[in-house]
Structure 1
């Protein structure tokens, strides 16, 4: 990933006086073109990286530029390592291990034990309970497309079941809750589009390179929940559902119910498919008490499902 690569380039250049672009490309398993783009990114970030042409030329950091290892505290390094650990199930173990070792070179020897102890105190596991292991090869292909600035081709099936063939310029991978998405420029639509990785079929990396466009990342999916109009509903839920609602939507107004081990929750309800499917998914552990029209619609949907099974 680009952030890891930029850090790796910086550490390599700090350790060595001068390195050729081709050597950096070989070490980091990317194209020379990608290395030059990364060098421009480092320069824009304020790191004085220079390059000299010729047989004896190469890329280097200006002699008077120094990075004090004490600039990073043990807490800073711990945060970096924990963040990398959270990616370990989605990035190849080899890449993670290499990055770990590079970051540890920033830590003075007398702080290594402290950093390792603090890193082991927090674990972030972003993998779902039921994981789709077939996604990993697709993620690697997409990452290669971004690293090498090469086109991707795949067949795509949207949430309505419509199938299309796409060729795209990949720009950004996004993990949203438990799903991965690609933000890319679609050559067919001549515009930026977002694609769900699990809906890509026959994904392949083409040999065709592309020139990077001016890409501005956009928020993925719906607007924040509380930024929309909603209907205030009153729900009677079990303790388990109460906890799930608080985890997903934050603090809510909650009071004890007249039934043991049940709670009354004032819930800001979105009257769309997502909202109704959410409440129906709680089964008999959640009852909508008010408003009447939401309760009536839930009953209608339940009856439709019941009819489906009664007729089979």
Structure 2
């Protein structure tokens, strides 16, 4: 990602007296144009980087410049290490580990043991329970398209199963819960769109650059929770389902029953496929007590499901 690349460029320039933009582009697998934009970003941030023209020219950093290790607190560096190590399961492990090692060079000697201890006190494991074999190659291809500013082409299936061919300018990858999304400008729709990676197939990186548009990242939310009406439902659930409801909706008011394994809870329910699939997924560990029309709809859906297996 750009932040890691900028830090990597600084480390290389501190280690070498001078290097060409073409060589940096080769190291970071981006275009020379992207490297020059990075150099501009570093200059604007106050890093004394210059680009010298000519055959013997190249990019260099002023001799007196160094990163002050005391600029970062132990909390700063701990937060960086936790965040980067949590990404290693979803991005290139080699890339993430290299960045972690670079961050560790910023650690003052007298804080190294403290930071090592703190960085192991919190672990963020973003790895899903089941592994999607096509996800990692897709992520790498999309990351390459974003960094090199090259078009992507893929088949996309909507929630009705309709498949369309899309050509897009990729701008941002988003991990929401266990699903990855691509925010991009769709040339077919002539507008920005968000694509769920699990609905993408036949993904190709095209050898065609694009000029970036003005992109404003938008928060990604579960569509059923926005702009629709909630219904309060009362459920009788097992303690296992209770834990799952707390994970999804936070602390709720649970009322104990005479059955030690069951509690009663009321919570906001969305009357659509997402909401009904959620309740049905709890199986015989959840009973909807009220309202009656939600209970009746659940019965109807379960009867349809049973009919499939009776034939």
For residues 194 and 147 of structure 2, what CA distance do their matches in structure 1 show?
18
Give 3-state SS (helix, strand or coil) of 1:129's partner.
coil
Give 3-state SS (helix, strand or coil) of 1:232's partner.
strand
Deviation digits for residues 9-44 of structure 1 (CA, Å, limit 9, x no counterpart)? 233334445433223222222221111222233345
For residues 299 and 47 of structure 1, what CA distance do their matches in structure 2 show?
65
For residue 193 of structure 1, what is the aligned residue in structure 2?
193
For residue 20 of structure 1, what is the aligned residue in structure 2?
20
Instruction: Show structure 1 runs of 4+ deviating over 6 A.
Output: none
Change (3 A) 1:224 1:280: closer
For residue 309 of structure 2, what is the aligned residue in structure 1?
309
State yes or no: 1:127 paired with 2:127.
Answer: yes
For residues 288 and 44 of structure 1, what CA distance do their matches in structure 2 show?
59
Deviation of 1:229 after TM superposition, in Å, equals 3.5
CA RMSD in angstroms comes to 2.2
Give 3-state SS (helix, strand or coil) of 1:288's partner.
strand
For residues 232 and 47 of structure 2, what CA distance do their matches in structure 1 show?
52
For residues 151 and 41 of structure 2, what CA distance do their matches in structure 1 show?
22
TM-score using structure 2 length: 0.92
Deviation of 1:45 after TM superposition, in Å, equals 4.3
For residue 294 of structure 2, what is the aligned residue in structure 1?
294
For residue 269 of structure 1, what is the aligned residue in structure 2?
269
For residues 303 and 286 of structure 2, what CA distance do their matches in structure 1 show?
16
Deviation of 1:63 after TM superposition, in Å, equals 6.2
Aligned partners of 2:85 and 2:97 also within 8 Å? no
Deviation of 1:203 after TM superposition, in Å, equals 1.1
Q: Which structure 2 segments of 5+ residues have no match?
A: none
For residues 192 and 209 of structure 2, what CA distance do their matches in structure 1 show?
17
Aligned partners of 2:256 and 2:262 also within 8 Å? yes
Change (3 A) 1:123 1:57: same
Deviation digits for residues 110-155 of structure 1 (CA, Å, limit 9, x no counterpart)? 3223322222222211111111122111111111111111111112
Deviation of 1:292 after TM superposition, in Å, equals 1.7
Deviation digits for residues 242-270 of structure 1 (CA, Å, limit 9, x no counterpart)? 01100111111112123222111111111
Deviates more, 1:284-293 or 1:41-50: 41-50
Give 3-state SS (helix, strand or coil) of 1:298's partner.
helix
Number of residues paired by the alignment?
311
For residue 153 of structure 2, what is the aligned residue in structure 1?
153
For residues 252 and 81 of structure 1, what CA distance do their matches in structure 2 show?
34
For residue 92 of structure 1, what is the aligned residue in structure 2?
92
TM-score using structure 1 length: 0.92
Deviates more, 1:185-194 or 1:34-43: 34-43
